[in-house]
């Protein structure tokens, strides 16, 4: 059976991956890469697919090496070669596909993210970590990150969830947090980053950061400012959003948010599946709620909103509109 041939745009994306990730890219190379991304939406889509498949800095290959020692070592070595060719990269990617769909699917699942991540938290668990450079990293519940710290860089890859980081100064190696949509670059500052469904949220708690997308779009955010990073745009968020870091103190501080957003913030602390009916998702909520007791928070919401909360088991909660008789 012949091996399926990739389309030319995907091959170009792999070309760029080999050039950018195998060594330290020059400013000129980065500019050429940004121009290639901006040339055609298909380029950015192909790049995003490749990063999802291999992880932004080969984390998936590295993780597979931990899970399957010996079988993926050869692949990792080829991909990290400074002079690796596109043909070598294509051969490695094809070979990794032969490791089994179940392993790839597991690596892309929340459980797989936790098992393969460098640092992670479980359901209902927040934890802080002292990093090698002196920075302080805090992870919200059900979050996972990879760390790439060496003599050339300080890079945190947010796989899932939400983090707050107090950055230790290092003018030679500005710390970056990478998400599915882009990167946040900081130097001696404190900020929050969360990975949401279609965007990354950035809230500057101290000093300033530079947010950038993979197509080169950039925006500087000052203390107290925040923004949502989408694939093709950076959208400022009005109002002070610093209350979003209150999970560090075990609180969910809500200032006129839709009910769906509140439930989404509670899901990492709740057992089982919580579903919100479409007719009540946009109800506005305001208040301060405990994160360590989601059942209490759901009960408080039912007292102030026209909703009912039904617990069918410890693993299933449905939130829907009250009927006139209720």
- Give me the pLDDT at residue 201, please: 96
**Listed residue (22, 235, 57) closest to 156, CA to CA:** 57
In angstroms, the CA 155 to CA 145 distance is 10
Query: When comparing pLDDT for 209 and 197, which is higher?
Result: 209
- The answer to whether the beta carbons of residues 14 and 93 sit under 8 Å apart is yes
Q: Is the pLDDT of residue 299 over 70?
A: yes
- Give me the pLDDT at residue 106, please: 40
In angstroms, the CA 91 to CA 323 distance is 60
The CATH architecture assigned to 119-242 reads Sandwich (2.60)
Residues 6+ apart with CB under 8 A from 229: 179, 181, 182, 199, 200, 201, 202, 211, 213
- Give me the pLDDT at residue 266, please: 92
Query: When comparing pLDDT for 321 and 17, which is higher?
Result: 321
- Summarize pLDDT for 120-154 with one digit per residue, the tens: 898 889 999 999 999 999 999 999 998 999 888 99
- Give me the pLDDT at residue 92, please: 52
Location of each CATH 3.55.50.30 domain in the chain: 250-321
Q: Which two tokens stand for residue 23?
A: 């060594």
Mean pLDDT, the chain, rounded, equals 79
Residue 130: other Cβ atoms inside 10 A = 10
Residue 300: pLDDT band with limits 50, 70, 90? very high
pLDDT-wise least confident of 71-85, 121-135, 176-190, 278-292 = 71-85
φ/ψ of 163, rounded to 5, equals -140, 155
- Give me the pLDDT at residue 15, please: 73
Residue 107: pLDDT band with limits 50, 70, 90? very low
The CATH code belonging to domain 250-321 is 3.55.50.30
In angstroms, the CA 183 to CA 260 distance is 26
Q: Which residues pair with 164 in a beta bridge?
A: 138, 192
Query: When comparing pLDDT for 43 and 238, which is higher?
Result: 238
Query: When comparing pLDDT for 295 and 63, which is higher?
Result: 295
Q: Which two tokens stand for residue 36?
A: 């290639």
- Give me the pLDDT at residue 59, please: 44
Q: Is the pLDDT of residue 69 over 80?
A: no
- Give me the pLDDT at residue 53, please: 54
- Structure-derived torsion over alpha carbons of residues 238, 243, 248, 253, reported in degrees to the nearest 10: -120
Location of each CATH 2.60.120.1440 domain in the chain: 119-242
- Summarize pLDDT for 23-54 with one digit per residue, the tens: 556 777 777 887 888 788 888 777 776 665 55
Q: Which two tokens stand for residue 49?
A: 């697919």
Q: Which two tokens stand for residue 296?
A: 């209490």
Residue 265: pLDDT band with limits 50, 70, 90? very high
Mean pLDDT, rounded, for 87-111: 45
Q: Is the pLDDT of residue 77 over 70?
A: no
Q: Is the pLDDT of residue 248 over 80?
A: yes
């Amino acid at each position: 059976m012949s091996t399926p041939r990739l389309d030319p745009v995907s091959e170009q994306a792999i070309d760029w991956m080999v050039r950018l990730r195998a060594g330290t890219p020059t400013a000129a190379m980065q500019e050429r890469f940004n121009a290639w991304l901006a040339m055609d939406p298909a380029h950015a889509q192909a790049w995003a697919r490749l990063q999802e498949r291999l992880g932004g800095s080969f984390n998936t290959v590295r993780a597979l090496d931990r899970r399957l020692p010996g079988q993926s070592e050869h692949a990792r070595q080829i991909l990290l070669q400074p002079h690796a060719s596109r043909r070598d990269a294509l051969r490695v990617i094809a070979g990794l596909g032969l490791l089994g769909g179940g392993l790839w699917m597991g690596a892309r699942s929340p459980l797989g993210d936790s098992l393969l991540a460098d640092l992670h938290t479980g359901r209902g668990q927040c934890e802080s970590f002292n990093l090698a450079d002196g920075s302080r990293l805090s992870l919200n519940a059900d979050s996972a990150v990879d760390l790439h710290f060496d003599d050339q860089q300080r890079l945190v890859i947010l796989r899932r969830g939400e983090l707050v980081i107090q950055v230790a100064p290092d003018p030679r190696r500005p710390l970056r947090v990478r998400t599915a949509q882009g990167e946040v670059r900081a130097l001696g500052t404190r900020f929050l980053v969360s990975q949401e469904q279609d965007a990354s949220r950035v809230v500057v708690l101290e000093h300033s950061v530079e947010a950038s997308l993979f197509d080169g779009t950039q925006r500087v955010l000052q203390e107290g400012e925040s923004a949502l990073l989408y694939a093709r745009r950076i959208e400022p968020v009005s109002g002070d959003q610093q209350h979003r870091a209150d999970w560090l103190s075990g609180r969910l501080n809500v200032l006129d948010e839709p009910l769906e957003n509140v439930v989404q913030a509670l899901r990492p602390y709740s057992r089982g599946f919580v579903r919100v009916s479409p007719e009540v998702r946009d109800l506005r909520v305001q208040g301060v709620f405990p994160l360590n007791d989601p059942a209490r928070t759901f009960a408080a919401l039912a007292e102030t909103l026209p909703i009912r909360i039904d617990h069918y088991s410890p693993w299933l909660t449905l939130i829907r509109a009250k009927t006139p008789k209720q």
